[in-house]
Structure 1
Amino acid sequence: MSSNVLSSRMHTGLTFDQIANSIGKDEVWVAAAFYGQAKFSSDELKNVSEILGISVDESLSVLGDHWWPNRGIGPMPPTDPVIYRLYEGVLVYGHAIKAVIHEKFGDGIMSLIDCKVKVAKKPDPKGDRVLLTFEYASFLLEFH
């Protein structure tokens, strides 16, 4: 994503949720678009540019229809502490989660296409908790 768009968001003080609500999208999807992991449509990019007070023409020339995201890039294992903890969660619980999914859904896969991700804060006496909800589409595999 253009550093101009990211720095403009920081200067406005707007949250991803505020921007998302103004363009009718989910806050995690909007954040993903800001970090180059999703792609705004031209209309969405125009709206975001106007919200951030930056040149629509510049945003479209940098991030218009000719630009495509590079999803999932970064070092492995991740070095950022938050991203590493997500990665660690999959490493530790991945097989158990997979087994439970197969018990409940059969022999299928999950798809990030149309995936919905929510982040919430839950107060706890030991310290606030992060609630992550991933809603994947489920596809049953059929073998003939």
Structure 2
Amino acid sequence: MNRNEITEQIVVARLAKGLSWQELADAIGRPVMWTTSALLGQHPIPAELGRVLVKKLGIDESAVPTLAAVPMRGGLPTSVPTDPTIYRLYEALQVYGGAIKELIHEQFGDGIMSAINFHADVQKKPHPSGDRVVVTFNGKFLPYQWVSADDTPDVGVGH
């Protein structure tokens, strides 16, 4: 069974059993965002946690090794996402991405926000004109470092 087939089984089993992503996260003591992403194929799930999850979901334990393998991360089926929810996040980054980049560089210097040393969260915030979606990305700042051929960081001008 490949990862896509296992992901389909996970989604179907979760819905059939009436389990929330939060309940699955609680079962393994991990954050809901990480657990959901992992079960959708974006993170390896340690085998001991994978066994807990497949049992709770009622899917075959033969899925555990695939769930534990390092996945091919990222990628969407199309270059511009067509799912409305994902497209709106993409749209927000198109509109605000340049400003976010400029503000990161102004406040931190030349570098990036890590998606490896990272935390994400989604919260519902009640509002009189309609509930608000609050998405938080919390990543470690990694400055660009230019290195010479002998891997000694150069100080000064980049190459």
Residue matched to 1:60: 64
CA shift at 1:48, angstroms?
Answer: 0.5
* Amino acid across the alignment from 1:30: T
Kindly indicate whether residue 25 of structure 2 is the aligned counterpart of residue 25 of structure 1.
no
CA distance in 1, matches of 2:117, 2:49: 18
Q: Secondary structure at the match of 1:68?
A: coil
Over 3 Å counting, the alpha-carbon distance change for 1:64 and 1:125 in structure 2 is: closer
CA distance in 1, matches of 2:141, 2:86: 24
Task: Using structure 2 for the length normalisation, give the TM-score.
Answer: 0.81
**Structure 2 alignment gaps of length 5 or more:** 147-154
Q: Deviations over 1:44-97 (max 9, x none)?
A: 1101112223332x2225x254x4322222211100001001111111111111
Residue matched to 1:40: 45
Kindly indicate whether residue 134 of structure 2 is the aligned counterpart of residue 131 of structure 1.
yes
The structure whose Rg is larger is 2
* Amino acid across the alignment from 2:47: S
| Identity among equivalent pairs (%) | 38
Tell me how many residue pairs correspond in the alignment: 141
Q: Deviations over 1:5-41 (max 9, x none)?
A: 2211111211111111221111111111121112211
Q: Which runs of 4+ in 1 moved over 6 A?
A: none
Greater relative CO, 1 or 2 (CA 8 Å, sep 6+)? 1
**Structure 1 alignment gaps of length 5 or more:** none
Residue matched to 1:78: 81
C-alpha root-mean-square deviation of aligned residues, in Å? 1.6
CA distance in 2, matches of 1:137, 1:79: 29
Residue matched to 2:124: 121
Residue matched to 1:90: 93
Residue matched to 2:105: 102
* Amino acid across the alignment from 1:36: G
